[in-house]
Amino acid sequence: MVEFILNNKEVSTDLPRGMLLLDFVRYYKNLTGTKIGCREGDCGACTVLIGELQNDEVRYRSFTSCLTPLGNIDGKHVVTIEGVNMSGLNPVQQAMCDNSATQCGFCTPGFIVSLAGFCLSDKQATQQNAIAAVDGNICRCTGYKSIERAAAQVAELMQNRGEEEPIKFVTNNNILPAYFSTIKQRLKSLSLLLNGNLHKANLNSPLPRRERAGEGVFVGGGTDLYVQKHDEMKHTHSHFMFNRGELNSVSKKSNKCIIGPSATVTDLYESEIFKEYFPQFKKQVKLVSSTPIRNMATIGGNFINASPIGDFTIFFLALDATLVLSNGTKKRELPLRNLYKGYKTLDRKPEEFIAKIYFDLPDRNTLFNFDKVSKRTNLDIASVNSAISISMKGDVIKDAHISAGGVGPVPMLLKKTSSYLAGKVLSEELITEATEIAQSEISPISDARGTEEYKRLLLSQLIKAHFITLFPTLKVEELLLN
Ligand SMILES: Cc1cc2nc3c(=O)[nH]c(=O)nc-3n(C[C@H](O)[C@H](O)[C@H](O)COP(=O)(O)OP(=O)(O)OC[C@H]3O[C@@H](n4cnc5c(N)ncnc54)[C@H](O)[C@@H]3O)c2cc1C
Ligand code: FES
Ligand code: FES
């Protein structure tokens, strides 16, 4: 049984937990305003908002319902386009209308839901933030300028919010329906009804028999699984990890950062720890997919998906992260760098799940950078990506970890290159030598994302770019031309 609030109604269903929310709202609830476009998380036509209790407030995030299984929304508030309707157009819908931001209308519900999500967030009321909220929505016919103007009008609606709690502001000012102000209490009652099972599931309790036997699939945000096999997943025996509160925390213990495997990209982005230790993360994260996908994509899912270009795998390889794998009774630790044995082949038994990820936070002398080149700047996977963590003692490199994706069958930690750098004085020559050693460690292939030669060139340039970014006084710009 899955129980949640759908717009202004409590619902419960015995349908399979693996069923997609998109299919549920359209075919079982006749809420056909949520559109089916790509079914792959790319177009945003199916965008909904998912609200959940966090620190005694309801926090809303946009999700693509085409990749969200019912098992991931138990105990939450689901808002479809019908759930933001009021008598007449609401001010967000009016903004789209006023600015001629809709033509065929197919994409419009998705845009409106994303903009409603912006109004419900505590983001600053800037045009830039309103436009960022629709970065996962594609329109094929209107043209984005009018949509940007509509977003600016929505940002203006929120201008006077000040410190007022967003839900209070949007309901008091008739921007969104009044029932939103009742959701917090209703989610609390629902959570009591569910007896906290979802949120308090004990990580150390043994897995059910079928999972122990290696049957079934662990589901994170579903953004890989449901793209690869969305029909099959409906009836696959699944263990839903996304909804388990203790699995999505980001915390710090002395110099270690501890991340739950179900922490999403957005969870990292919003964590105070990442804001403090990775000030560039805000910029780097924009290179990864779109707002709704970042709201759903988990770090554990990125690792186990084992894509050679997984952005967070590359990020955490350079941080030399360690995984704690568990089968519910026994735990073992495994450095991330040892997880990948071959293309999509892992040192992991089917019954083992990632229970925890940890790494040492950079100290004052350690610098970190991540970068990625893809065919499109936004909403695209990498042709080649790379990260570096480098510890300095004056001019001398104490220790370095450089990772690279898209240049071999697995995400790689460039061990030879990294150890070559250790103990040497940083110089332009050293950087050139490092790029040459890196070439001997990689084996890219030509494919849709670029030729072998192009990927080799990209990695050299990315390594040089790391140094240019981290050591702006070093005169290495000309190196990029060589
Ligand atoms: C439109 C779109 C754009 C994307 N853009 C990017 C991008 O720019 N960069 C990028 O790196 N990726 C991108 N992705 C891929 C995807 O979003 C990421 O790989 C994401 O991190 C996967 O996480 P998930 O929780 O959704 O994985 P899921 O689909 O839930 O799971 C992926 C795999 O991990 C396993 N798994 C999940 N959690 C656990 C656990 N705790 N223990 C053991 N196994 C587990 C699952 O069984 C499955 O094998 C994109 C995907 C889409 C749809
Ligand atoms: S249908 Fe395109 S993102 Fe869901
Ligand atoms: S209005 Fe037609 S796709 Fe956007």
| pLDDT per position as a tens digit, 180-226 | 999 999 999 998 877 654 444 445 555 566 655 567 899 999 999 99
Given a contact cutoff of 8 angstroms between Cβ atoms, the answer to whether 52 and 117 are in contact is no
- Radius of gyration over every alpha carbon of the chain, rounded to an integer in angstroms: 23
For residue 202, what pLDDT is reported?
A: 47
SS3 395: coil
Around 217, how many Cα atoms within 13 Å sit in the side-chain half-sphere? 21
Mean pLDDT, contiguous 10-residue spans, the chain (482 residues) = 96 96 98 97 97 94 98 96 96 97 97 98 96 96 95 96 95 97 96 61 54 76 94 91 87 96 96 96 91 97 96 98 94 97 94 96 96 83 95 96 97 97 95 96 94 96 95 72 60
Residue 195 and residue 185: Cα distance in Å, rounded?
Answer: 15
For residue 380, what pLDDT is reported?
A: 79
> Among all chains, which residue has been given the structure tokens 């308090």?
200
Residue 262 and residue 245: Cα distance in Å, rounded?
Answer: 9
Q: Please indicate whether residue 241, judged by its CB atom, sits closer than 6 Å to ligand 2.
A: no
Q: Give the helix ranges, DSSP H, for 278-322.
A: 281-285, 291-296, 299-305, 311-318
Instruction: Report CA(111)–ligand 3 centroid distance (Å).
Output: 10
For residue 143, what pLDDT is reported?
A: 87
Q: Please indicate whether residue 109, judged by its CB atom, sits closer than 6 Å to ligand 2.
A: no
CA angle 289, 293, 297 (to 5 degrees): 105
Q: Please give all residues whose beta carbon lies within 6 A of any atom in ligand 3, as ranges.
A: 102-108, 139-142
Q: Please indicate whether residue 37, judged by its CB atom, sits closer than 6 Å to ligand 1.
A: no
Give this prediction's pTM: 0.95
For residue 473, what pLDDT is reported?
A: 82
All structural domains of the chain: 1-198 (3.10.20.30), 201-361 (3.30.465.10), 364-482 (3.30.390.50)
For the chain, give the number of residues.
482
Residue 340 and residue 334: Cα distance in Å, rounded?
Answer: 11
| pLDDT per position as a tens digit, 401-433 | 999 999 999 999 999 999 999 999 999 999 999
For residue 212, what pLDDT is reported?
A: 58
Looking at ligand 1, which residue's alpha carbon is closest to its atom 27? 301
Looking at ligand 2, which residue's alpha carbon is closest to its atom 3? 41
Residue 280 and residue 422: Cα distance in Å, rounded?
Answer: 24
Q: Name beta bridge partners: 219.
A: 240
Q: Which of 46, 47, 142, 145 to mutate to test the pocket of ligand 3 (most atoms within 8 A of CB)?
A: 142
Residue 315 and residue 130: Cα distance in Å, rounded?
Answer: 28
For residue 216, what pLDDT is reported?
A: 80
Q: Please indicate whether residue 354, judged by its CB atom, sits closer than 6 Å to ligand 1.
A: yes
